[in-house]
Amino acid sequence: MTISATADEVAVGGPTESADGASTLAAAREQLAAAAARLGLDEGMHAMLSRARREMTVTVPLRRDDGSTTCYVGHRVQHNLSRGPGKGGLRFSSAVTLDEVRALAMWMTWKCALVDIPYGGAKGGVTIDPQQHSAMEIERVTRRYTSELAEFIGPERDIPAPDIGTDEQTMAWMMDTMSANRGYTVPGSVTGKPLLIGGSLGRTDATSLGVAQMALAALQHVGLRSGQTTAAVQGYGKVGRGAARFLAEAGVRVTAVSDQFGGVSNPGGFDFDALDRHVRETGTVTGFREGDPIGNDDVLQTEVDLLLPCAVEGVITAANADLVRAKAVIEGANGPTTPAADRILDHRGVLVVPDILANAGGVIVSYFEWVQANQAYWWTESDVRGRLRERMVAAWADVARTAAQAGCTLREAAMSTAVGRVAEAHRVRGLYP
């Protein structure tokens, strides 16, 4: 048997973290520090909230289809458990680092608190490029990662969900592995799984729908009507694709979209049925005949009313924030705007709907799925969407009201609300000796 290390493992499995992961964590901690200062939290409380409750790093050996063995690194970070079990996605990407997972877990804590669902924040990742592996290899990685963490995850402890590089099939493998280890089926151990084994109607496009709802709320907030507005979507994937379609159905003209390979623009808007066929056939939006080729940076700088960064962290920075020409930025991704860029956009009068509000639709419906699984009673799609809208609209109203009363940005209002709720949960529970 041959054992080899991959470039993925060497790049992210060593003792140092990438600059991107470190900067993402620094951004998350800077946001927390600002909220802690506004709330007047003492140093001890701030210190507890800035650190993860529990971190697990595991080796994930993979037996390849050719008989060789490759080792990857997996992480699971449970940032805070004071308001309930951990909740957060699992991503498969060669860019995964422990610092990145720490930041994403922290943002999950604030997101769950902001929309007032009884979860803490968690996140996981494996340093693997799924595009370089067969389905059988990805299944083996998933099951090994799950078994390594079996004592730390589950419906009462930490409930994973899909993220970048993972999907409902990944969740099915995780649930089956958890169930096999326990000796009985545990449908609440993950969310975002197939309907056939306890998934929820409305879960697949929940994040996209929530992003679109917040985008429409932002339009109203700045005095625009959806039938007379335009949008650009950076990151035409799980979240961006659905959000673009929902906005188009609401009358917003989406004039530019992009993915990791590039982008296309069409001032008249897109035929999304045709665009989606092209993406299924080619794996990218580039080369779509009904649009002109543009770069990812061009999408961020497109003159539109709404800009939706829906891909990864840190795409709007101090280097390009002055070039953003949208009236409002709706953060479909986690952490797409750096703190320095946030200040620039605020100074320029660009409204930013923060990630912990804008993309909370996914975790809200994950909560609904978990509730349904625990009760063994499933809701209709109309029920799910109606309750999602209620939660999103209530959270928007709460954040907008707080921002107006305090004279601060939507992010400052959202973070103050979320951090305050988690800090209060800490106080009520007390500190175990």
Share of the chain above pLDDT 70, in %: 95
**Tokens 């520090």 appear where?**
33
Q: According to the model, what pLDDT value does residue 396 have?
A: 95
pLDDT digits over 345-404, tens only? 999 999 999 999 999 999 999 999 999 999 889 999 999 999 999 999 999 999 999 999
Give yes or no on whether 3-197 and 206-358 have one common fold: yes
Residue 123 among the catalytic residues = yes
Annotated catalytic residue within 111, 123, 238, 327: 123
17 — pLDDT class (breaks 50, 70, 90): very low
Question: In whole numbers, what is the pLDDT of the chain averaged over residues?
Answer: 91
Query: CATH number for the 206-358 domain, one of 3.20.20.140, 3.40.80.10, 3.40.50.720, 3.40.50.2300?
Result: 3.40.50.720
Stretch 312-337: mean pLDDT, rounded?
93
Percentage above 90 pLDDT, the chain: 87
> Rounded distance, CA 16 to CA 98, Å?
10
Domain ranges (residues) in the chain? 3-197, 206-358
Superfamily holding 3-197: Leucine Dehydrogenase, chain A, domain 1 (3.40.50.10860)
The pLDDT-based confidence of 5 (bands split at 50, 70, 90) is very low
Helix 361-375 to helix 98-114 angle, to the nearest 10 degrees? Answer: 80
Q: pLDDT confidence of 21, banded at 50, 70, 90?
A: low
Q: What is the pLDDT of residues 136-185, one digit of tens each?
A: 999 999 999 999 999 999 999 999 999 989 999 999 999 999 999 999 99
Tell me the C-alpha distance between 72 and 55, whole Å: 17
Over range 123-132, report the average pLDDT.
96
pTM above 0.85, yes or no: yes
> How far lies 143's CA from each of 59, 150, 155, in Å?
13, 10, 17
Using pLDDT thresholds of 50, 70 and 90, give the confidence band for residue 22.
confident
Instruction: Give the lowest-confidence range in 8-12, 358-362, 421-425.
Output: 8-12
Taking residues 257-275, report their average pLDDT: 93
Distance CA 106, CA 109 (A): 5
